[in-house]
């Protein structure tokens, strides 16, 4: 029979704790909420991309091209691009694709705010108002010890009357 060293015993004790800690981490509400948000966000990306490609790009295309990726400037003239899309000469700046990505972000942020965040905030405020109405409007006023002592002093002075000796 072989004697175990202290590190071997310590390693066996750490494994269940690590697994339990990992399980506790995964079971927290924030992790689950984050996972749902990522999945919804990924699905929502398709909708936003369709809106940008189907509505925004044609509106911009009324001025120029329907594909924003086609907008670019040349840092070093002349810019030459081969048929396969590789740059053979010059340094192009593809600001059209940056504009498209920015529009996609702004539209996504606006839709998330106006269709999800704002209604949820109003709903939670309404719930809070209803909760306060059920409890009544009895608010607890914190009174410091000094204020209580002043009230006791004033009550004692009032009991003594006006002609009593005050110390």
Characterize the bridge pairing of strands 73-74 and 87-89. Answer: unpaired
Written as six digits, the tokens of 60 are 């911009």
Distance separating alpha carbons of residues 84 and 80, to the nearest angstrom = 12
- Please, which pLDDT band fits residue 31 given cuts at 50, 70 and 90? confident
Residue with the bigger pLDDT between 167 and 64: it is 64
| Cis peptide bond N-terminal to 62, omega within 30 | no
pLDDT (tens digit per residue) in 36-86: 888 888 888 888 778 777 887 777 777 766 667 777 788 777 777 777 767
DSSP code per residue over 69-119: GG--EESSSPPEE-TTS-EEES-EE-HHHHHHHHHHHHHHHHHHIIIIIHH
Q: What's the fold here for domain 9-158? A: 1.10.1200
pLDDT (tens digit per residue) in 106-148: 877 887 788 878 888 899 899 888 888 887 755 556 778 888 8
Sketch the domain layout of the chain as residue ranges: 9-158
Q: What pLDDT shows up at residue 8?
A: 52
Contact between 103 and 52 (Cβ < 8 Å): yes
């Amino acid at each position: 029979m072989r004697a175990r060293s202290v590190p071997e015993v310590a390693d066996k004790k750490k494994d269940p704790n690590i697994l339990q800690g990992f399980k506790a981490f995964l079971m927290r509400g924030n992790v689950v909420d984050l996972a749902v948000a990522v999945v919804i966000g990924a699905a929502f990306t398709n909708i936003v991309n369709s809106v940008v490609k189907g509505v925004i790009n044609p509106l911009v295309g009324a001025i120029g091209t329907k594909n924003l990726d086609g907008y670019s400037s040349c840092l070093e003239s002349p810019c030459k691009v081969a048929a396969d899309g590789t740059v053979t000469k010059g340094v192009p700046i593809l600001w059209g694709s940056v504009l498209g990505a920015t529009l996609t972000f702004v539209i996504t942020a606006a839709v998330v705010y106006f269709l999800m965040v704002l209604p949820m905030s109003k709903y939670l405020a309404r719930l809070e108002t209803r909760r306060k109405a059920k409890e009544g409007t009895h608010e607890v006023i914190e009174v410091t010890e000094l204020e209580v002592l002043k009230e006791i002093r004033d009550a004692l002075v009032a009991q003594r009357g006006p002609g009593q000796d005050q110390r």
